[in-house]
Amino acid sequence: MKRTIFLYGLSLAALIVALKLLEFRFMVHSLSLEIYLSTIAVLFTAFGVWAGLKLTRPKTVLVPQTTYQFDTKRLETLGISKREYEVLELMAKGLSNQEIADTLFVSLNTIKTHSSNLFLKLDSKRRTQAIQRAKEIGLLP
């Protein structure tokens, strides 16, 4: 910070010196005051922009990472069917097999079959493990 202020003053001084030199060399009295002012204004505006961006914390907007999206490809590579995925979703919500069966209007045995297939395809032995794996590979949010 101190260094920046120092550099600022230094460049200001340098600019003035440069202009003074110009003044003597090329009879700059012929140049109008407006030209001077404009030049300096533009230069220091540019400097201001640069300094402002450099010195202030970058504005960052935190976006809640909604990376997840339904990826049919991944399901296909694992051979997981639509119905099995539905079961997986409800499992992840913490529902029991019976509750899942009631939700999907099928029998408990059907859910057991689906879940067994899921465990095979997700290489897991328990529902909690299956859920964890599914989240790891992005099947579930």
Task: Give the interface with a copy of itself as residue ranges (CB under 8 A).
Answer: 8, 12, 15-16, 19-20, 23, 33-34, 36-38, 40-53, 56, 58-65, 67, 91-96, 124-133
Nearer Cβ to DNA (19/108)? 108
Residue for token pair 């992005």: 138
| Shortest CB 112 distance to DNA, Å | 4
CA–CA separation, 47 and 124 (whole Å): 61
Burial of 76: CB neighbours in 10 Å, binned 0-12, 13-18, 19+: exposed
Tokens 């997981």 sit on residue? 80
The two three-digit tokens of residue 91, written as one number: 């499992």
Q: How far is the CB of 55 from a copy of itself (least distance, A)?
A: 8
Q: Total number of residues binding DNA (CB under 7 A)?
A: 24
String of contacts with DNA for each residue 68-107, x by CB under 7 A: -----------x-xxxx-----------xxx-----x-xx
Residue 115 binding target from DNA, a copy of itself, none, CB below 5 to 8 Å by type: DNA
For residue 31, give both structure tokens.
């140049």
Q: Are 80 and 118 in contact (CB under 8 A)?
A: yes
Give the pair of three-digit tokens for residue 68: 């997840």
Among 122, 127, 134, 140, binds DNA (CB under 7 A): 127
Span of 7-15, 22-30, 50-58, 114-122 interacting with DNA by CB under 7 A: 114-122
In the chain, the amino acid numbered 140 is: L
User: What residues have CB less than 8 Å from 54, skipping those under 6 apart?
Assistant: 4
29 vs 82, beta carbon nearer DNA: 82
> What is the 8-class DSSP label of residue 119?
H
